[in-house]
Chain A
Amino acid sequence: SWVFLCDLLSGVNAYSTGIGRIWVAVVFVFRLLVYVVAVENIWKYANDEFECDIRHPGCENVCFDHFFPISHISLLALQLIMVSTPSLLVVFHAAYREKKHHNQKLYKHLGELDGGLLCTYLISLILKTGFEIVFLVLFYNLYNGFQVPRIMKCDVRPCPKAVDCYISKPTEKIIFLSFLVASSCLCIVLYLSELSYLVFKYFIKCYLKRYIKKCQ
Chain B
Amino acid sequence: MDWGALHTILGGVNKHSTSIGKIWLTVLFIFRIMILVVAAERVWGDEQDDFICNTLQPGCKNVCYDHFFPISHIRLWALQLIFVSTPALLVAMHVAYRRHEKKRQFRKGDQKCEYKDIEEIRRQRFHIEGSLWWTYTSSIFFRLVFEAVFMYAFYFMYDGFRMPRLMKCNAWPCPNTVDCFVSRPTEKTVFTIFMIAVSSICILLNVAELCYLLTKFFLRRSKKAGSTKHHPNHENKEETKQNEMNELISDSCQNTVIGFSS
- Give the residue name and chain of the A residue nearest to B33 (CB): A37
Number of A-B residue pairs, CB cutoff 8 Å, is 107
Q: Please, how many residues of chain A have a CB less than 8 angstroms from a CB on the other chain?
A: 46
Contact A29 B89 (CB under 8 A): yes
- Give the residue name and chain of the B residue nearest to A216 (CB): B262
Is B223 engaged at the interface, CB distance under 8 Å to the other chain? no
Is B69 engaged at the interface, CB distance under 8 Å to the other chain? yes
The stretch from B20-28, B59-67, B121-129, B244-252 touching chain A is B59-67
CA distance A169 to B48 in the complex (A): 9
Per-residue A-contact encoding for B45-66, CB less than 8 Å = 1, 0 else:
0001100000001110111011
Q: Please, how many residues of chain B have a CB less than 8 angstroms from a CB on the other chain?
A: 38
Contact B66 A49 (CB under 8 A): no
Contact B93 A22 (CB under 8 A): yes
Contacting residues, chain A, for B97 (C-beta < 8 A):
18
Contacting residues, chain B, for A33 (C-beta < 8 A):
1-3, 5-6, 82
With A33-B5, A169-B65, A171-B66 given, is the CB distance from A49 to B48 under 8 Å? Answer: yes
Contacting residues, chain A, for B61 (C-beta < 8 A):
51
Is B79 engaged at the interface, CB distance under 8 Å to the other chain? yes
CA distance A18 to B97 in the complex (A): 9
Closest Cβ of chain B: how far from A176's Cβ, in Å? 8
The 10 closest A-B pairs by CB, nearest first: A166-B59, A2-B1, A171-B70, A166-B62, A53-B58, A38-B75, A37-B78, A172-B71, A51-B58, A38-B78
What are 22 A-B pairs at a CB distance below 8 A? Answer: A1-B1, A2-B1, A21-B96, A25-B89, A28-B9, A29-B6, A33-B3, A33-B6, A34-B82, A42-B72, A51-B61, A53-B57, A53-B59, A109-B107, A166-B58, A168-B62, A168-B65, A171-B70, A175-B71, A176-B75, A215-B261, A216-B262
